[in-house]
């Protein structure tokens, strides 16, 4: 271990301020810690922020994805197509309902589902597509929606990493299909743990509200349950923090965009592929800053050198189909999804958050330049 050049630089950090503290304290002092008035206030602000008519807050992004499988009727024997280059929850939600996850390969630059690969993976058993906006970059919705319409398949958007991103001039969440959001502390905004599902349909929203609260019917009296549900509620303390975060969401997103732009400059002469730039159809919401190392570079060695300099990095993202439980359950193996596997072997997340100081970014860029050379 060499002597650290400065303070340790962490991968991520939430932006929590006095306003957040005040809002959480207010709920704490009110004594109404769950199913109070704060949850609906948070839901209404979030619906406005993404341009969706309805929003149901839930206990996590994973819970939201699981409920979406119920929403679109996924069950035993069905297949659900999703991206292998994502967080495991994008695929696990199908397994929870007895369906089989089917992985389609990704585009090597957007890291999102390649619509042609999705089309090739459709079978008579395909019930839904879970499209992921990985690292906050919008997936190809026009092509995916067209596929879903043509084949009678449901589309669910895993936008857990993409709050604030836009596709074709409109915020993700406003394109008609259910979209799932997540608020773990490394996300653009946080509620501690927490998530939400936004929908355009009142009927879907009512089903979500019932399913997250143990299957209670809106009309039923206390402890009358009309269907099998879950406890996937978001408590009011978390919702209060969510309100504080939404109040400053634009500032958070701007700050993250500025850090990304500054990384782009600092890494211009470093031999890595930096994240894809926005274009007329895609505006990213910056979640993590992931670079792709040149083929043949020893990523483990690079990570160790950065760690020696006090810099945290992560091998984002392993391909889901190669996780041990996936191999055991479905017999998946190397070579099935070459683009995803190649990206998984070469991509690296650098420290990234809204208030990462320029001098820390310089330290990261210098250390990366040295490690690769
Ligand atoms: C793409 C994606 N999907 C789903 C999730 C699950 O969210 P949560 O951790 O809130 O369950 C995450 C969170 O990391 C994610 O990044």
DSSP-derived 3-state class of residue 307? helix
Is the pLDDT reported for residue 3 higher than 70? Answer: no
254: CA distance to ligand 1 center in Å? 22
**3 state SS of 47:** helix
Over residues 121-129, mean pLDDT: 98
Task: Give pLDDT, residue 220.
Answer: 63
Q: Is 248 a catalytic residue?
A: no
What local confidence, expressed as pLDDT, does residue 4 receive?
Answer: 52
324: Cα separation from own chain's centroid: 22
Q: Give residue-wise pLDDT tens across range 39-63.
A: 999 999 999 999 999 999 999 999 9
**Which residue, judged by its Cα, is nearest atom 14 of ligand 1?**
87
| Percent of the chain predicted with pLDDT > 90 | 95
Give Cα separations from 298 to 247, 340, 347 (angstroms).
43, 18, 11
Q: How close is the Cα of 318 to the center of ligand 1, in Å?
A: 14
Residue ranges around ligand 1 (CB below 6 Å)? 60-62, 86-87, 89-90, 132, 158, 160-161, 182, 184, 195
Give the span between the Cα atoms of 181 and 187, in whole angstroms. 10
Check residue 94 and give its pLDDT: 98
Averaged pLDDT, 308-326: 97
Please tell me the distance between residue 60's alpha carbon and the centre of ligand 1 in angstroms.
8
The token pair at 287 is 């979640």
Q: Which of 66, 67, 89, 178 is the pocket-test mutation for ligand 1 (most atoms within 8 Å of CB)?
A: 89
pLDDT at position 52 is: 98
Closest C-alpha to ligand 1, atom 5: 61
Instruction: Compute the distance from residue 161 Cα to the ligand 1 centre, in Å.
Output: 7
- Closest residue CA from atom 7 of ligand 1: 61
Cis peptide before 317 (omega within 30 of 0): yes
Angle at 161 between CA 96 and CA 201, to 5 degrees: 65
- C-alpha of residue 195 to centroid of ligand 1, in Å: 9
User: Tokens at residue 270, please?
Assistant: 């470093």
For residue 6, pLDDT over 90 is answered with no
Instruction: Specify the ligand 1 atom closest to the Cα of 133.
Output: 1
Q: Which ligand 1 atom sits closest to the C-alpha of 86? A: 1
Task: Work out the average pLDDT over 236-245.
Answer: 98
pLDDT in tens, 186-217: 999 999 999 999 999 999 999 999 999 999 98
Q: Ligand 1: which of 60, 160, 180, 181 to mutate, most ligand atoms within 8 Å of CB? A: 160
User: What is the mean predicted confidence (pLDDT) over 146-162?
Assistant: 98
| Cα 6 to ligand 1 centre (Å) | 32
Residue 2 pLDDT > 60, yes or no? Answer: no
Ligand 1 pocket test, pick from 69, 161, 165 with the greatest ligand atom count within 8 Å of Cβ, gives 161
pLDDT above 80: residue 222: no
289 pLDDT above the threshold of 70: yes
pTM of the model: 0.97
pLDDT of res. 218: 75
Mean pLDDT of 163-175: 98
- Return d(Cα 328, Cα 223) in angstroms, integer: 40
Q: How many A from CA of 237 to the centre of ligand 1? A: 20
Count of beta carbons in the 10 Å neighbourhood of residue 299? 16
Residue 290 DSSP label: E
| Ligand 1 atom at shortest distance from the alpha carbon of 62 | 11
Which of ligand 1's atoms lies nearest the C-alpha of 64? 11
**Candidates 127, 187, 248, 292; catalytic one:** 187
Q: How far is residue 348's CA from residue 346's CA, in Å, rounded to a whole number?
A: 7
Q: Are strands 289-292 and 347-350 parallel, antiparallel or unpaired?
A: antiparallel
Instruction: Give me the phi and psi of 165, to 5 degrees please.
Output: -75, 160
State the Cα torsion 80-82-84-89 to the nearest 10°.
Answer: -80
Mean pLDDT, residues 94-111: 98
Please check the confidence at residue 1 and state whether its pLDDT lies above 50. no
Q: Please choose from 12, 182, 242, 285 the residue to mutate so as to test ligand 1's pocket, defined by most ligand atoms within 8 A of CB.
A: 182
């Amino acid at each position: 271990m060499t002597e650290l050049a400065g303070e340790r630089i962490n991968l991520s950090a939430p932006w929590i301020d006095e306003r957040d503290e005040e809002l959480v304290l207010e709920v704490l002092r009110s004594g109404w810690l769950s199913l109070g008035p704060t949850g609906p206030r948070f839901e209404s602000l979030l619906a406005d922020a993404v341009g969706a008519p309805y929003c149901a807050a839930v206990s996590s992004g994973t819970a939201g994805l699981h409920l979406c499988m119920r929403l679109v009727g996924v069950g035993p024997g069905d297949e659900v197509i999703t991206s292998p280059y994502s967080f495991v929850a994008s695929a696990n939600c199908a397994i929870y309902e007895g369906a089989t996850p089917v992985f389609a390969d990704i585009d090597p630059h957007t890291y999102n589902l390649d619509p042609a690969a999705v089309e090739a993976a459709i079978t008579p058993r395909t019930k839904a597509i879970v499209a992921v906006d990985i690292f906050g970059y919008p997936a190809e919705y026009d092509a995916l929606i067209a596929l879903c319409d043509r084949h009678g398949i449901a589309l669910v958007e895993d936008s857990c990493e993409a709050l604030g991103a836009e596709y074709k001039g409109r915020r993700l969440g406003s394109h008609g299909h259910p979209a799932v959001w997540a608020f773990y502390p490394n996300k653009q905004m946080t509620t501690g743990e927490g998530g939400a599902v936004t929908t355009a349909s009142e009927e879907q929203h009512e089903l979500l509200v019932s399913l997250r609260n143990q299957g209670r019917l809106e009309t039923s009296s206390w402890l009358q349950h009309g269907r099998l549900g879950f406890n996937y509620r978001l408590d009011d303390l978390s919702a209060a923090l969510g309100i504080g975060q939404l109040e400053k969401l634009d500032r958070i997103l701007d700050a993250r965009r500025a850090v990304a732009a500054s990384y782009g400059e600092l890494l211009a002469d470093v031999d890595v592929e930096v994240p894809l730039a926005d274009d007329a159809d895609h505006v990213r919401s910056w979640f993590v800053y992931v670079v792709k190392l040149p083929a043949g570079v020893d990523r483990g060695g690079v990570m160790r050198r950065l760690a020696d300099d006090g810099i945290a990095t992560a091998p984002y993202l392993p391909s889901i189909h190669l996780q041990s439980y996936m191999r055991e359950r479905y017999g998946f193996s190397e070579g099935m999804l070459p683009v995803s596997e190649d990206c998984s072997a070469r991509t690296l997340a650098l420290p990234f958050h809204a208030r990462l100081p320029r001098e820390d970014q310089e330290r990261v860029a210098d250390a990366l330049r040295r490690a690769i050379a």
